[in-house]
Amino acid sequence: MEALQAEFDAARDDTAIRVVVLAAAGKQFSAGHDLKEMTAHRSDSDGGRAFFEQTFARCSRLMQSIVDWPKPVIAEVDGIATAAGCQLVASCDLAIASEQARFGVNGIDVGLFCSTPAVALTRVVSRKLAMEMLLTGEMIDAETALEFGLVNRVVPREALTQAVAEYAQAIAAKSPSAVKLGKGAVRNQAAMSLADAYEHTSRVMVENMLSADAAEGIRAFLEKRQPNWREE
Amino acid sequence: MEALQAEFDAARDDTAIRVVVLAAAGKQFSAGHDLKEMTAHRSDSDGGRAFFEQTFARCSRLMQSIVDWPKPVIAEVDGIATAAGCQLVASCDLAIASEQARFGVNGIDVGLFCSTPAVALTRVVSRKLAMEMLLTGEMIDAETALEFGLVNRVVPREALTQAVAEYAQAIAAKSPSAVKLGKGAVRNQAAMSLADAYEHTSRVMVENMLSADAAEGIRAFLEKRQPNWREE
Amino acid sequence: MEALQAEFDAARDDTAIRVVVLAAAGKQFSAGHDLKEMTAHRSDSDGGRAFFEQTFARCSRLMQSIVDWPKPVIAEVDGIATAAGCQLVASCDLAIASEQARFGVNGIDVGLFCSTPAVALTRVVSRKLAMEMLLTGEMIDAETALEFGLVNRVVPREALTQAVAEYAQAIAAKSPSAVKLGKGAVRNQAAMSLADAYEHTSRVMVENMLSADAAEGIRAFLEKRQPNWREE
């Protein structure tokens, strides 16, 4: 989590990076926290409380960093994505899965209900479906995750990297400043009343219209040519 | 937008109008704002700011007018519904589409992220699907819009007008006062906590039960005959 | 409603009860309020106001009791679930339906818009689909209810009791204290901002990690054996 947080923090203002793909180094996407490491801290003088507080604070900060991050984040999911690993998928802007991907919030199986993963999960999956996953600890396959709205697309394993690259390239070809403005606007308006949401996003639209990239983009469209975005 | 707003304002208290169908005069439903008109205002002394502010304020007012309007509004969608045109579909109470309808929030292609359309879109379509449309600018077809929850039904083009008419007639046959009370209650409770939502809607239910139309409707049901609603 | 409320209140702290199944005694799940009883109260000196207020307050309290109840509640739905009966299904944590189950919020047919059922319905079903049901009074079948997210699973009528029992057994096999903590956390965070939701659920995760059941559950997992949960 520390390494991932550091990467996000470092890349935040790097204009050469326009979109991030989160993929696993190994065969599984992520199985969440390390239960052995957690359990070892029970012998701390405070029974592990300080370590647990630090762990969940760090994890929650990481998840919110992805949502708050100015650039899109795409999860490339193969293998298992469980507990905080499933939360990571739910927290990304887009998620593309292989046919072999499997998802679960199965902490309940070891007596640890996935309460923090539920924050991300219930914001993308409808309530009854999320509750079923949280209460039973069941695993769902990629097709079911697609039906539930947890992932955007399912492709054969051998096509996964290429499919993700196409999404990333499509997004990287857009105006970086417009993407940044827009992702922030979508996030900010989410919990607002309809009136507040329209007031906020109308202000964003005006700023966006006054930007050099919108001027260039609309001109290019009217002139039937490719736009040349500013670097930042 | 001015013409449409004027129609909604004029029809608001017209008891002869019980439901409104929004359909295009031409082949496309709506492609949103006129980019040529927008661009022309860049040569205004303020670079277009006043015009853009007015435009997005007017557009946001129109979209909220549909949501706040006391009678149901049905979108009849054939052809293209993009950017503010897609927002219009998302803002209607119901939407029926032809098999040829296509939807997109593709402002990002010209460097203008669809931030205001996102307000309406994210309130009907799940977050990851909405983000995909907003970030990639991709068009989705009618079947996909149905799966995403953006439209209620897809029918062959030649059956579209008739299908919409059937929805409109079904709704027009209900008690106008109950429809008005109900649409308002659904809108008002949407952003409330569960406890507040129940307190609000319980009050609405009591007023509804005490109305002449509920008395007539329940009596007609028990007497196995058609109800005669009051005019207003 | 009184009888059901009393059962929930009595079973609330009964540690022998880990999950509740709501099923009908007769062939229909529930058709909602008794219109004859409601109508009879119109001859009360206040035109029925006090009775209606009491009825909807009682009904809303019951629905919220299910959401607030510390243990999972599963709806086992066969036959008709309409108006407050459909609201009951929407309010449960999970719902399993037979292929013959049918759902509707059809009060609008008698001039009584299902405003209180809409509170529960719009929190599980997407807005346009909910509005269609509320405005037209149409009935939907079990497969459609599954697509809409109103139920978790549809099975043949003769397999319904067994399918529900399997869900109940799966949940009853989990740590009762973790289930209680988790259901409460999911409910509490639902209307919060992302930051508040993570702060709240992080605190819940720490308490959960420090509990005897999480210690036992993780130990059992690492030792590859079944966990022995505490009774409460």
d(C-alpha C57, C-alpha C164), whole Å: 30
Task: Name residue B57's amino acid.
Answer: A
C136 Cα to chain B: minimum distance (Å): 6
Cα nearest neighbour of A50 on chain C: C206
Q: Which strand (E) or helix (H) includes residue C58?
A: helix C49-68
Cα nearest neighbour of B218 on chain C: C110
d(C-alpha A13, C-alpha A16), whole Å: 9
8 Å CB contact of A115 and C204 = yes
Read off the pLDDT band of C191 (50, 70, 90): confident
Q: Which of C35, C63, C129 sits opposite B149 (nearest CB)?
A: C129
Q: Which of A48, A115, A127 sits opposite C123 (nearest CB)?
A: A127
d(C-alpha B137, C-alpha B82), whole Å: 10
> 3-state class of B140 per DSSP?
strand
Complex ipTM value: 0.96
Cα nearest neighbour of C57 on chain B: B202
Token pair 């940044």 is at which residue?
A: A180
Q: Phi then psi for A94, rounded to 5 degrees?
A: -130, 160
Domains annotated on chain C, with CATH: 2-172 (3.90.226.10), 176-222 (1.10.12)
Mutation for A interface: B88, B121, B135, B148, most A CBs within 10 A: B135
C94-98 β-sheet, strand order: C20-23, C73-77, C94-98, C153-155
B36 Cα to chain C: minimum distance (Å): 33
Cα nearest neighbour of C191 on chain B: B193
CA B199 to each of CA A10, B196, C10: distance values in angstroms, whole numbers, following the listed order: 48, 5, 25
Q: List, for residues A76-103, the tens digit of each pLDDT value.
A: 999 999 999 999 999 999 999 999 999 9
Give the list of residues 6+ apart from residue A28 with CB closer than 8 angstroms, or none: A78, A79, A80, A81, A85
d(C-alpha A98, C-alpha A76), whole Å: 8
Task: Name residue B8's amino acid.
Answer: F
Q: Which of C126, C167, C218 sits opposite A35 (nearest CB)?
A: C218
Read off the pLDDT band of A230 (50, 70, 90): confident
Contacts of C167 in chain A (CB under 8 A): 132, 136
8 Å CB contact of A93 and B191 = no
Contacts of C64 in chain B (CB under 8 A): 194-195, 198
d(C-alpha B120, C-alpha B127), whole Å: 12
CA dihedral A101→A103→A107→A110, nearest 10 degrees, is -50
d(C-alpha C229, C-alpha B47), whole Å: 68
d(C-alpha A220, C-alpha A228), whole Å: 8
Each residue's pLDDT expressed in tens, for chain B with a length of 232 residues: 999 999 999 999 999 999 999 999 999 999 999 999 999 999 999 999 999 999 999 999 999 999 999 999 999 999 999 999 999 999 999 999 999 999 999 999 999 999 999 999 999 999 999 999 999 999 999 999 999 999 999 999 999 999 999 999 999 999 999 999 999 999 999 989 999 999 999 999 999 999 999 999 999 999 999 999 986 6
Q: List, for residues C99-137, the tens digit of each pLDDT value.
A: 999 999 999 999 999 999 999 999 999 999 999 999 999
The pLDDT value given to residue A110: 97
Looking at C134-220, which runs of residues are DSSP E strands?
140-141, 153-155
Q: HSE-up of B42 (CA within 13 Å, CB side)?
A: 16
